A and B are shown apart, each in its own frame.
Chain A
Amino acid sequence: MDSIVIWTIVILAGLGLVLALMLFFIAKKFKVEEDPRIEQVEKALPGANCGGCGYAGCHAFADTAVKAADLSAHFCPVGGNDVMKQVAAILGIEMVEKAPQVAVVRCNGNCAVRPKINVYDGAESCRVKAALYSGDTGCSFGCLGCGDCVAVCEFGALSMDPETGLPVVDEAKCVACGKCVKACPKALIELRPKGPRGMRVYVDCRNTDKGPAAKKACGNACIGCGICVKTCTHEAITLENNLAYIDPAKCKLCRECEAMCPTGAIHGVNFPKPLDREGIKARVAARKKEVRNE
């Protein structure tokens, strides 16, 4: 009886030893050399695996970053410049700092100014709704209000405001991964530079209908009147298809367009002082007069 137990132990232990040795030599012979920096880079990354950088997770990002000659195609939106500095240090390449971005919802057609003209009773999803019809208000460009963007956000940065029926971005939480941009069937969300101390001015509308139609559908719509284009002294505003767009790279945050906009489609956020509408209007009028006199 005892001998059976002993023999069993000896045979199994011997078998284990032989197999372990085989595995050891096979592993040595067929070893794949991996750049140790890949692991270092991956450790430096936040590990959210959100895909916001455009690669399939943090490992894929690290793998391609190590092989790349420079970091122009690599930017981790979650970690931002701090993480990218670490990555650059590991790889020994220089990095160019990128301005931090934030998701901006370009619709301000709240319930008060954009009346509903029909009732939707299908599945609560913007994608489903957009495939069925143009939306329950007269504006076929505006927010559908089912919150697909809120559902895809992994950072809890988006929420629906029940009062306006529009999504709100929590700037402290938004990492500009761009998931909401892809989720919105109306392409209302744009990643824009955060701006100095968070200050930025943008056109809060995507309606390309002609003026009267846009105005009829929504009180806050951009009607393509072009006043902002004429007002802007920095050539930052362009007008295309009855819709104005402010180039964040050129905008000097003077807020003149915001004050002059007749519908309130242009919004400035995070400014320390409230908008001095009358003061700016007077200033613009005086400048125009000067130009005329010359």
Chain B
Amino acid sequence: MSKITFAIGGVHPDDAKLARGCAIEVLPLPETLYVSMAQHLGAPAKPIVAVGDSVKTGQVIGEPGGFISAFVHSPASGTVKSIGPRKDLAGNPVTHIEIAVEGDEWVEGVDLSDTLVTAIPEDRAAILDRIKSCGVVGLGGATFPTHVKLNPAPGSVAECLILNGAECEPYLTSDYRIMLERTKEIIVGAAIMQKVLGGCRTVIGIEENKPEAIEAMRKALSELPYSIEVLPLKKKYPQGGEKQLIQAVMHREVASGGLPISVGAVVQNVATSLAVYEAVQKNKPLITNTLTITGNCLPVEKMHNYLFRIGMPLSYIAEYAGGVPEGAAKLISGGPMMGRAIANLDAATVKGSSSILYLTAESTKRGKESLCIRCGRCADACPMGLEPFLLRKLYFAGDVEGLEANAAQDCIECGCCLFSCPAYIPLLDHVRQAKGMAMAAIRARAAKK
């Protein structure tokens, strides 16, 4: 039993990795793809094609809209049918490019073969440029542009690159499957990032409920010439949180408001590592990712891990997998702890899509809310050491200074407080608002300076 984990808080939901045995299948292309321009953290991309243009697979169709932004590429070849607002997962209008699919003809210069390329380019700037031009973003959930993260501000030194293979969210198995099926590619991707960061220590952290993945990684590493280690981690949610992982691996704590690089850490998801490999070694832009179809009202034989192209409507994928099962009361994109309920199944997949989760009414029903009895379970469960019950109170009082003093801005929205509350108080809903208030105050102050 591994004892490596973060110091405080955390909860132990049933891991329910039901789709772990399902090999990755490639989804066929639908007739129409809707490519969102807001697939990453930061400014939305700006469309650079016009209606009627014909595009090839992998062609740039959206340019970064700011410093923190990313390129968006066409996921198939065809014609641009329209550019305009379309509803996203939450039902809010976002600019999408609609592409009428005619085939899968790639742009030139992309290596489509399966051969493993282990020779890493020498030029650091060229690697970073390739990662940027291929639109690679963090696929662990936050979709932060990878080239920005791999290029720390002058003066800060990366001491450790942590590859995040924890996949601590229950149900999700997409990272697990790629760790089994694309093991060597992930390792080469990690070696590329290691090189960019100046050859620092590199660790792949995997929760020990995935022994096959740990084994596969160790075996592949013994066959490859890189100095990378595999670290089995204790199974505890949210092990895959950036700050939690740094604490587990490096025993260092990121200060409130600080970035991981301030303690010498860079954390990247294993799926991001795969995307980096494909971008740098194969010149392949990020237009695919893996997504899990699972849930507790689905028989195992109907569960899938799919390789999807960005822009496929979720409804198309759900239909292809056999339709929305009977008894599904709540549909979630992402894991059950941090994922968002799907308000609009017609929404298109984005780079960071990781699952369609079907849950029964019984398992998602919230209990009747009652009064806080100050039991302190939420404070015990919080991995950031916050006091959610207090933050909620301060939020209701509108006390921004109090929220800041009690570090509401440090909340990682993991949902441990809500999960542990015996009074069924929607703590996360309120603390998330509290965090927004504190962040707005901090930002307003920074803008004044």
Contact = CB atoms under 8 A, between A and B. Distances in A.
Interface of A: 117-118, 121-123, 125, 127-128, 131-136, 138, 140, 209
Interface stretch (B147-155, B168-176, B202-210, B427-435): B427-435
A127 B398 CA distance: 13
Given A132-B90, A134-B87, A118 B343 contact: yes
Contacts of A140: 87, 91-93
Given A134-B90, A140-B93, A125 B343 contact: no
A128 B395 CA distance: 12
A59 B93 CA distance: 45
Given A117-B343, A128-B430, A132-B90, 6 more contacts: A118-B341, A131-B432, A132-B340, A132-B429, A134-B92, A140-B93
Closest 9 interchain pairs by CB?
A: A134-B91, A133-B90, A123-B429, A123-B426, A133-B343, A128-B429, A134-B92, A122-B429, A121-B366
Contacts of A135: 91
A145 to B, nearest CB: 15
A263 to B, nearest CB: 20
Interface in B348-407: 364-366
Contacts of A132: 90, 340-341, 429
B341 A133 contact: yes
B436 interface: yes
A36 to B, nearest CB: 34
Interface string B84-103: 00010111110000000000
Contacts of B341: 118, 132-133
B375 to A, nearest CB: 20
Contacts of A123: 426, 429-430
Given A118-B343, A121-B366, A133 B429 contact: no
A128 B343 contact: no
A135 B433 CA distance: 17
Contacts of B93: 140, 209
B426 A134 contact: no
Contacts of B436: 131
A131 B433 contact: yes
A122 B426 contact: yes
A213 to B, nearest CB: 9
Nearest to A118: B343
Contacts of B91: 133-135, 138, 140
Query: Which of B87, B89, B91, B341 has its CB near the most chain A CB atoms (within 10 A)?
Result: B91
A133 to B, nearest CB: 4
Nearest to A128: B429
A260 B439 CA distance: 47
Contacts of A121: 364-366
B430 A134 contact: no
Nearest to B89: A133
Nearest to B331: A118
A24 to B, nearest CB: 39
Contacts of A209: 93
Given A121-B366, A122-B426, A133 B92 contact: yes
A121 B366 CA distance: 7
Nearest to B426: A123
Query: Which of A122, A133, A209 has its CB near the most chain B CB atoms (within 10 A)?
Result: A133
Contacts of B365: 121
A209 B91 CA distance: 12
10 contacts: A121-B365, A125-B433, A128-B426, A128-B429, A131-B432, A132-B341, A133-B89, A133-B341, A140-B87, A140-B91
A216 to B, nearest CB: 12
Contacts of B90: 132-134
A247 to B, nearest CB: 27
A83 to B, nearest CB: 28
A136 B433 CA distance: 19
Contacts of B432: 128, 131
Interface string B422-449: 0000100110110010000000000000
B371 to A, nearest CB: 15
Given A133-B90, A133-B91, A140-B93, A127 B366 contact: no
B403 to A, nearest CB: 15
A211 to B, nearest CB: 14
A121 B89 CA distance: 17
Contacts of A138: 91
Contacts of B430: 123, 128
Contacts of B433: 125, 127-128, 131
Query: Which of A117, A132, A138 has its CB near the most chain B CB atoms (within 10 A)?
Result: A132
Contacts of B343: 117-118, 133-134, 136
Nearest to A127: B433
A134 B366 CA distance: 21
A212 to B, nearest CB: 13
B34 to A, nearest CB: 15
B299 to A, nearest CB: 25
B357 to A, nearest CB: 15
A183 to B, nearest CB: 12
Nearest to B93: A140
A274 to B, nearest CB: 37
B228 to A, nearest CB: 39
A74 B404 CA distance: 33
A38 B340 CA distance: 54
Interface in B319-351: 340-341, 343
Contacts of A117: 343
Interface string B121-157: 0000000000000000000000000000000000000
A133 B347 CA distance: 13
Interface in B54-101: 87, 89-93
B94 to A, nearest CB: 11
Contacts of B429: 122-123, 125, 128, 132
A133 B93 CA distance: 11
Nearest to A141: B93
A155 B34 CA distance: 48
